[in-house]
Amino acid sequence: MVVEQAEKLGFLADTAIAMGMVLAPVLNMGVNLWFIILLLGKKEITVAKWLTAFNFLVLVLQIIYFLN
């Protein structure tokens, strides 16, 4: 019984990691695209500048990771 539960949790953890590896760059690109659209439209971005810069840095690192 305990072994079966551990196997199920292991499968869920593997699934969550795989989904995160695929979905994180897509969502990050969407957020960065949204920021660019706001900047081009001269709208105010109400998110902290350090968070915007960090999000862009993470996107660059994700692109480098997936291209290698």
What is the structure's pLDDT at 66?
85
pLDDT, tens digit, 9 for 90 and up, residues 41-67: 999 888 899 999 999 999 999 999 889
Q: Are 25 and 62 in contact (CB under 8 A)?
A: yes
What is the structure's pLDDT at 61?
93
Q: Is the pTM of this model over 0.85?
A: no
In the chain, domain spans: 25-68
pLDDT surpassing 90 at residue 27: yes
pLDDT band (50, 70, 90) for residue 68 = confident
Q: Which residue has the higher pLDDT, 10 or 8?
A: 10
Alpha carbon of 64 to those of 5, 26, 32, 61: distances in Å?
37, 14, 16, 5
Q: Are 38 and 45 in contact (CB under 8 A)?
A: yes
